[in-house]
Amino acid sequence: MKIAVLSGKGGVGKTLVSTNLTNILSKYTKIELLDCDVEEPNSNIFFNFEFNKKEKINLLVPEIDNQKCTKCGLCADSCQFGAINVFNHGVMVFNSLCHGCGVCSIVCPHEAISEKEKSIGTIEYGQKNNIYFGQGLLNIGEPSGVKIIRTLKKHSKNINLQILDAPPGASCSVVETLKNMNYAIIVTESTPFGFHDMKSVIEICQKMGLKMGIIINRYDKDYTEIEEYLNKNNIEILEKIPFSKEIALMYSKGELISQNDKYKIIFQNILNKIGVVQ
């Protein structure tokens, strides 16, 4: 079973849920945790894995041979992203705009464009006890982490039981994380913000035909909108985690709250409801 943990916005408790679920499951079985939140991978703060495998993720970006280039301008006209420009003194590539698609080198009539690798980030893997861990990290200033997520998933151990910590939001990198998943856990919080952002994530899961369940974190019984909406739309609520200063404090120190028997039950309940453990 492959489970993605996601949230419409950051900071509502997505990593809290994915790390603690992983912790509980690892008591019974082998489990793989992949941190796909490549802009801010935070899961490892709670486990401190040492990485035994590291891989650079590269894009192929164009390199111009000025000897061969006639400044015909075809490359610049063909690039959909405005990443290559032809000036009087030569051709210039703006690496931060380049998607590495390869169009310019194909259209160049004088074979003046070759391709070189440019690093956009890294993926790392480690293992401790029953937990296999992988994370991606996007380099600063790079626009898109989709390729890092794709490679992280492809090069993982592909253990039967996987938990993926998705990037926050509802963008294409979330969709990349959700591909081939069996279940989506959506984490939200008892505020109009949480409610609003949860709806876009639900829409994605529905479009992708994914089974899903909701966790309302920092639950406040006086704010009823979320539950009314979920009940009306027949979407399962997996758990309501009350606001607790103790949880917030443990989390701030990088501790797993499921180490504490009081909170362990929360995550066991969730797993029961999804049907991962009996």
Q: Which is nearer to other proteins, 166 or 276 (CB)?
A: 166
Residue 73 touches which member of ligand SF4, other proteins, none, C-beta under 5-8 Å by kind: ligand SF4
Q: How far apart are CA 227 and CA 234, in angstroms?
A: 10
Q: Among 205, 159, 147, 224, which residue's Cα sits nearest to residue 5?
A: 205
Residue in 88, 234, 252, 278 binding other proteins, rule: CB under 8 A: 252
Q: Of the two residues 79 and 181, which places its CB atom closer to ligand SF4 in the complex? A: 79
Bridge partners of 55, per DSSP, are 123
Binding to other proteins by CB under 8 A, coded x per residue (else -) over 117-146, reads ---------------------x-xxxxxxx
- Is 230 one of the binding residues for ligand SF4 (CB under 6 A)? no
Q: Which stretch binds ligand SF4 (CB under 6 A): 11-19, 47-55, 65-73, 216-224?
A: 65-73
Query: By C-beta, is 249 or 277 nearer to other proteins?
Result: 249
Instruction: Measure the CA–CA gap between 122 and 135, rounded to whole angstroms.
Output: 8
Radius of gyration of the chain (CA): 22
Region 3-62 residues binding ligand SF4, contact defined as CB under 6 A:
61-62
Among 47, 91, 218, 219, binds other proteins (CB under 8 A): 218
* Cα within 13 Å of Cα(215), Cβ side: 28
**Which of 120, 102, 100 is CA-nearest to residue 55?**
120
Binding letters toward ligand SF4, positions 77-116, x by CB under 6 A: --x-x-xx-x----x-x----xxxxxxx---x-x-xx---
- Measuring CA to CA, which residue among 109, 93, 111 is closest to residue 101? 93
Of other proteins, ligand SF4, none, which one sits near residue 83, judging by CB under 5 to 8 A according to partner kind? ligand SF4
Q: Is 237 helix (H, G, I), strand (E, B) or coil?
A: strand
CA distances for 249 relative to 148, 254, 262, angstroms: 32, 9, 15
Closest listed residue to residue 2, CA positions, set 124, 43, 25, 57: 25
C-alpha 178/C-alpha 164 separation (Å) is: 9
Tell me how far apart the terminal alpha carbons of the chain are, to the nearest angstrom: 14
Size of the site for other proteins (CB under 8 A): 64
Q: What residues make contact with other proteins under the rule CB under 8 A?
A: 8-12, 15, 39-40, 42, 45, 60, 78, 80-81, 99-103, 106-107, 138, 140-147, 150, 167-176, 190-193, 196-197, 200-201, 203-204, 207, 218, 220, 222-223, 243, 245, 248-249, 251-254
Q: What residues make contact with ligand SF4 under the rule CB under 6 A?
A: 61-62, 64, 69-75, 79, 81, 83-84, 86, 91, 93, 98-104, 108, 110, 112-113
